[in-house]
Amino acid sequence: MLSNAIYADHAGSALETDSALDGDCSEGSAGLKFLSAAAGRSGAVHELIKRYISSSGSISEAAEYHLASGGKMFRPQFVLSIAMALGVKETTAISIAAACELLHNASLVHDDLQDKDETRRGQLAVWKAFGPETAINLGDYFIAGTFQALAEIDESPDLRVKLTRLFAETTRQVISGQSEELAGSRNLTLTEQDYENNARLKSGMLLALPVAATMIAGGVSSAQVASASSAMQWLGVAYQIQDDLVDLFGLKDGRPAGVDLREGRVNLPVIYYHETLENDPLKGAFASFFKSDISTTSEIDFWACRIRGSEAIDRSIARMNAAVDKADARIGELRSRLQSIISVGRSRMLKYVDAILKERAKAQKRMLMSG
């Protein structure tokens, strides 16, 4: 278990000014140091989450089932590492981390049900294992735990109110993004801008939350919080595009390629591919396929192969890189330690980029050979 020494180094330093964030660590090394230390505190976050989901009923069984599948723990690691850098109390950081993780998992449980995704992290999704009604209840149960964690933070009432407002607004925005995504299902008139707006709301807000909440708890200026939040929202866009490409190429363990196509999700590669068909005889066939609720495996494979070999992939990768550039511009407005933590975290989030590029090269080669 990680010693409290890192926290103690900064204890009592209520950060009145941003200059307090400057350190003598070389760029990159500080972020690695804090994120590595944060990984050692994940157990404390899990223990607190267990306390908020414990009950004697069936809902606890569903909660334990879902959480046992693991997860990347991006959000708790951002919270704990930034808290160390800012001198936020360890107990406060752990509570914020637990609240972020509970809200994130609430969104996963509800999304799986609404999107009809049958698996999550290599096992049956909650709605498939326990039924849709339990999935609805479990998502709500996690949200209740989120706000209980915030209410029990041992800080000033003013800070608790600020954090509660931030979490409530984030929840509203995420629901808005999910609602727009559902409304756009099988709608091939959606644009790149529609997609980006939804991704910033649905993915970006949940990535911005742990960073913004911890910075607020650390007394950082509102301007710095705004820059960090914007950076994380753009990283959310990049992460969502990566996820679209990972799905298309079948790079996720335990998940077949083309699930988004099967479910009629208009993701960025689909938007771009549809644009390439403007004067193509295949345009009508693609529209018919997308509007159909029932598609065969061979149909999905056919269209997935066409998209993988098209310019839609290059355009999606370029748009992902553009989102990262926008994030980096905002990260550059932050003090050195925060820059370092978020930059290292960004690299960990976008870990599939190399694999996507390799699969893209293979797809291009296959298209050339078949042509």
pLDDT in tens, 103-122: 999 999 999 999 888 889 88
For the chain, domain boundaries: 27-370
Measured distance between the N- and C-terminal CA atoms of the chain, rounded to whole angstroms: 58
Distance CA 162, CA 97 (A): 16
> pTM here?
0.88
- Sign of the alpha-carbon dihedral angle for 329, 331, 336, 340: negative
**Which residue, among 117, 122, 110, has the nearest Cα to 68 in the 3D structure?**
122
Check whether domain 27-370 has CATH 3.40.50.1370, yes or no: no
Distance CA 249, CA 251 (A): 6
Residue pLDDT tens, the chain, 371 long: 333 333 333 333 333 334 434 444 455 677 888 887 777 788 899 999 999 988 768 999 999 999 998 888 889 999 999 999 999 999 999 999 999 999 999 999 999 999 888 889 889 999 999 999 999 999 999 999 999 999 999 999 999 999 999 999 999 999 999 999 999 999 999 999 999 999 999 999 999 999 999 999 999 999 999 999 999 999 999 999 999 999 999 998 767 899 899 889 999 999 999 999 988 999 999 999 998 887 899 999 999 999 999 999 999 999 999 999 999 999 999 999 999 999 999 998 999 999 999 998 988 888 777 75
12 backbone φψ class: left, alpha, beta (φ>0; ψ -120 to 50): left
**Which residue, among 248, 221, 219, has the nearest Cα to 306 in the 3D structure?**
248
3-state helix, strand, coil in the chain (%, to 5): 75, 0, 25
Q: Tell me, what's the pLDDT at 160?
A: 97
Whether 66 and 119 have beta carbons less than 8 Å apart is answered as no
